Amino acid sequence: MKDERYLRLLSEKFPNAQRVITELINLRAILSLPKGTEHFVSDLHGESMAFIHMIKNASGVVRRKVDEVYGYSISEEEKRAICALIYYPDERLELVKRFYAGEEVDGLLKINSQLSNLPTLDEWYRRRLHQVVEIARAVTIKYSRSKVHKLLPPDYAYIIGELLHESNLEQKDRNTYYHAIIEAIMETGCADQLLIAISYLIHSLTIDTLHIVGDIFDRGPGASKILDVLSTVRDYDVQWGNHDIEWMGAMAGNQALMATVLRVSIRYANIETLEEGYGINLLPLANFAMTVYGDDPCTLWQTKDFDNNPRLTRSAQLMAKMHKAISIIQFKLEGKTVQRHPEWHMDHRALLDKIDYAKGTITLNGQTYALLDTYLPTIDPKNPYALSTEEADLMSQLARSFRKSEKMQRHLRMLYEHGALYLVRNGFLLYHAAIPLNADGSFTEAEVCGERVSGKALMDRTDKIVRMAYYGEGKQKQDALDYMLYLWEGEFSPLYNKDKMTTFERYFIADKAIQEEKKGAYFTLADDEQVCARILEEFGLDAATGRIVNGHVPVRTIKGETPIRANGKRFVIDGGFSKPYQEKTGIAGYTLIYNSHGIQLVEHDSFESREQAVISGSDIHSRNLLQDFSGKRMRICDTDKGKELLEQIASLEQLLQAYRNGSLRER
């Protein structure tokens, strides 16, 4: 009966045998196509400009296609010009037209034009149309015409389709037909639209699927811009990182994480994401800080890298006061949350009741330390975790601002709809930080909202709780929303996995020893091949062929570290995509590329600027660290998508049989 009901539902889409046969032929043909290209990146940390360029150049794939198509037949300058046009067609077209109109533009653009021997604008258009079409052909060759057609703008789908696909005409007639199309494009004045549409098609198909292995958010100013760009990407997924969970919890209403987001943003001079990206009004916080800390020099609370952020409109002194004000609120809200959940065993993170306010000291682990800052006017020593009336009003205003930000709430929905704690795909296991392990390599059992779980069960339970924080109701929702704070800083959180987060100690205590955060066993043991094999088997993958992809811990290449761990079983692809981390890593990020030929691990240099990429064709220089290509090309039938298609084929074959034996009537 279940199968019969399913077939009746399926018959709504395929109402007769001929429609079923057509779809069966289509699906079987798709199974034979080469698998699409998957790109894996992590730890973007708000570095939007470099990320956007990486999407446009497909981590160097577009440039490699230009080299494959043209080899040494054209100059290096012309190759850069072609790439610049494909990456940024709108801006590049505007510059070209300004140049041919006689305006003074960058000299490199003039050199490119001269080297191309294109004295007129029309000749420039004809040559570039031909070249961009050639690159598009090289990119689309492994996709079905149907898939390519779906990505084309309706107004130009027929024209682009004719340019891309070979005609049945003989060679001479085919060339005549092709050139006639180009001339018609020129005469009708739609060359710009065609170049832009074909360039966007190349962007869409050079990255078939994009995997972001955590941490869209953090220090960089462009997290909201990254999510805006992701909303235009055809197929992507996100494995939540610790900074993503921090922001998701804040967006969903956890006030302790809201204060944390504000503190981190102000500490690193990154209020652009809040104010410009999401329209969060920070004026109430500025007014509160000036009122409470107006006479306080706030020497210990200076914003980092303030002088290198010319877009900040507030003074350094005001930023320091805002920094201190929201930090004290954070410590209060964290303490209250921890006290509500003794099962977390995090009393050592509720620190305000361990201060001797008269002496200006704090006692931790039996040792007394002097506080570096003792001016704490909003803390009541008898009830240190209670917000003052003014602090409570401030947090209510900020919470309302977070809740009413349409873009923030839209991006939160995107992170839930496209995100998860982990992903198993085509033999890869993706998660941002860790699978908590004991010292002997066994999976740590931890309590997650009333259930004791370990390994895969811990990840599944945690994923469920994260979703409950957004979709749940009543007390379950509130407990889950509270648990987002544990995921941010809890010892057995798969997104943190350190014994404690010593934020308070770094602000208030000079002794470096008390500031130490001890990493969990995973971060050492996961470099062992046998441990990785055990993790892969836990998630249902073949230990011999499966691979783990992580981010979270920057790979310090300048100290000889490698992203390839556990004899190739694990890739750590946090290479310092964000500029603040590049001093530690010595590079500017990694991209793991998995196409039909095999795996490539690409290492990137820093991105100069969008302006230079448009003007001179400057690019992100990349190097291959690893090429693991097998002799057999991987087809869609060899992938997880292929398994889904085979299931669809089996169902369609049952439907076809039902039509043919009369158990279902055709329409």
Q: What number of residues does the chain have? A: 667
Q: Exposure string (b/e) for 299-320, b if CB count within 10 Å is 16 or more?
A: eebebeeeeebeebebeebbbb
Q: For 164-176, b where at least 16 C-beta lie within 10 A, e where not — what string?
A: beeeeeeeeeeee
- Beta strand 451-453 with 361-364 is unpaired
Q: Can you give the pTM of this predicted structure?
A: 0.93
**Residue in 478, 572, 578 with CA at minimum distance from that of residue 43:** 578
Residue 375 CA from chain centroid, whole number: 40
Residue 244: DSSP 8-state: H
Go through 214-249 and write b for each residue having 16 or more CB atoms within 10 A of its CB, e for each that does not: bbbbbbbbbbbbbbbbbeeeeebbbbbbbbbbbbbb
Helices 242-252, 406-417: axis angle to 10 degrees equals: 130
What's the pLDDT score for residue 145? 84
Token readout for 654 is 């049952």
What's residue 580's pLDDT?
A: 80
Identity at 515, one-letter amino acid code? Q
Which of left, alpha, beta for 233 (phi over 0: left; psi -120 to 50: alpha)? beta
- The token pair that represents 443 in the structure block: 């999976």
What does the alpha-carbon distance between residue 405 and residue 387 come to, in Å, rounded to a whole number? 25
Residue 425 Rama label (left phi>0; alpha psi -120 to 50; beta):
beta
Three-class SS of residue 307? helix
Q: Quote the pLDDT of residue 102.
A: 80
Mean pLDDT per 10-residue interval, the chain, length 667 residues: 83 94 94 93 93 90 92 90 93 89 71 69 92 93 86 89 72 79 90 94 92 92 94 94 98 97 93 93 96 94 74 82 97 97 94 96 95 97 97 98 97 98 97 97 96 98 98 95 98 96 96 95 96 98 96 92 94 88 87 91 85 79 76 90 95 94 91
DSSP state of 152: S
The 10s digit of each residue's pLDDT in 442-489 is 999 999 999 999 999 999 999 999 999 999 999 999 999 999 999 999
